[in-house]
Amino acid sequence: MKKAIIVGATSGIGKCLAELLAKDDFRVGITGRRSTVLDQMKNEKPECYVTKTFDITQTAFIAEHLEDLTRELGGLDLLIISSGTGDLNDGIDFEIEKRTIDTNVSGFTAIADWAFNYFSSQNHGHLVAISSIAGLFGNHQAPGYAASKAYQINYLQGLRIKAFKSSLPVNITDIRPGFVDTSMAKGEKFFWMTSPEKASFQILKAILNKRKVVYITKRWVIIAFLFKFLPTSLLEKL
């Protein structure tokens, strides 16, 4: 039986992925800040889940939490970072941006580093992170969120290159969703909105195929392609 950890499994994509992995014969370590949700998931399938409640902004304790989970699972083959935050910030309030940075940059990096080093030492493993299509361009309503996702995209690429140059059999998958119907979808106008269930099904398929970069749903690759060629003058008008 393969072992996986999902960081941020109490709602949305993370919760759906945990359920899909459990059906696919994985034993899954699930984390989040809401212990009641984690306990409920474990009570429903005690043979599938191991739980650990923690906040990824408390980076000093991340290694300890992940090591505890890995020991209880009996090893680790796959780690998925699905934890993230972001709010609209028209007023450019630094406290809003700081919450985003603490989670999407500092917490993300601490988890990614631990996973990469763990998989490198055991000479196999798969790191997956949910970034966003938003990381491909600036956003005037949520500048910190878009910038944090750009950071994640580039950090994952850096780890992928490092694994390749070091001849390490460590896979890195960057999942870039568009609009998914979760609490992260903030605003009024959405298009190509998809359900977390559909998004998670496509994500799991990409993980099992060890894809490097995946857009969810697939049509978002069109937007990604167009934004590569749009001049700044046009981007500023969007």
Mean pLDDT, rounded, for 67-96: 94
Query: 91-134 pLDDT, tens per residue?
Result: 999 999 999 999 999 999 999 999 999 999 999 999 999 999 99
Mean pLDDT, rounded, for 21-46: 94
Residue 43 pLDDT > 90: yes
- Dihedrals phi, psi of 184, to nearest 5 degrees: -75, -20
Query: 156-183 pLDDT, tens per residue?
Result: 999 999 999 999 999 999 999 988 876 5
Query: 199-232 pLDDT, tens per residue?
Result: 999 999 999 999 999 999 888 788 777 777 666 6
Burial profile 153-162: b = 16 or more Cβ within 10 angstroms, e = fewer = bebbeebbee
The predicted pLDDT at position 186 comes to 47
Higher pLDDT: 180 or 152? It is 152
Q: How are strands ordered across the β-sheet holding 213-216?
A: 49-53, 26-32, 2-7, 78-81, 125-130, 170-177, 213-216
The predicted pLDDT at position 159 comes to 98
- In what helix (H) or strand (E) does residue 150 lie, and over which residues does it extend? helix 143-165
Q: Which domains does the chain show, CATH number per domain?
A: 2-235 (3.40.50.720)
Mean pLDDT, rounded, for 60-81: 97
Q: How confident is the model at residue 70 (pLDDT cuts 50, 70, 90)?
A: very high
Residue 189 pLDDT > 80: no
Residue 151 pLDDT > 60: yes
